[in-house]
Amino acid sequence: MGSLGFYEEVFGKHGLIIPVYSNFGVIRDICKELVEVENPSDEIVGEILSAVYSPSHLAAMVLERYPHVPIVSEYQTSIAESIEAHFLGLGHVAVAGLMPVVEGVGRSLYEQRGLGSRRGNGIVRRFEKLVSFAIVKLMREKLVITLKLNQC
């Protein structure tokens, strides 16, 4: 327990990804809880993840992080309003507010990475290509690092 691979395995088993911008102490604690539950309900997963997505953490992301992230900054008002809706108990409104954000950011990244035009139908195909592009890029970067380490 404690390796990034272990955390990936535990989160992945429950259909989750490791939350970004989280410290390993919080991630470790979440993993401890997830390991103890075979098939957690959505309610239990929500309670567990609330340690990461607390009001203060999300407020910091909206005020200090998202305004400085290219592409995402274009949607900072929609993100802030969706977070507010979530904490007001308006879950469907929160999700509905984030859907165009996810699609818009995805379309912009797709075009920015030279994979094609952001316009048109086929958002699922665009996301599939974007994910494939990211995987290939990551694998290439890992290969370069491995080669450099082997030369030392």
Specify the pLDDT at position 67: 93
Specify the pLDDT at position 93: 96
pTM for this entry: 0.74
Q: List the chain domain ranges.
A: 1-53, 54-152
Q: pLDDT by residue for the chain (152 residues), tens digit each? A: 568 888 888 888 888 888 877 888 888 888 888 888 888 788 888 888 888 888 988 999 999 999 999 999 999 999 999 999 999 999 999 999 999 999 999 999 999 999 998 888 888 999 999 999 999 998 998 888 888 888 87
Specify the pLDDT at position 1: 59
Token output for 134: 């990211």
The candidate with the shortest Cα–Cα distance to 108, out of 62, 75, 68, 83, is 75
End-to-end C-alpha distance for the chain, whole angstroms = 30
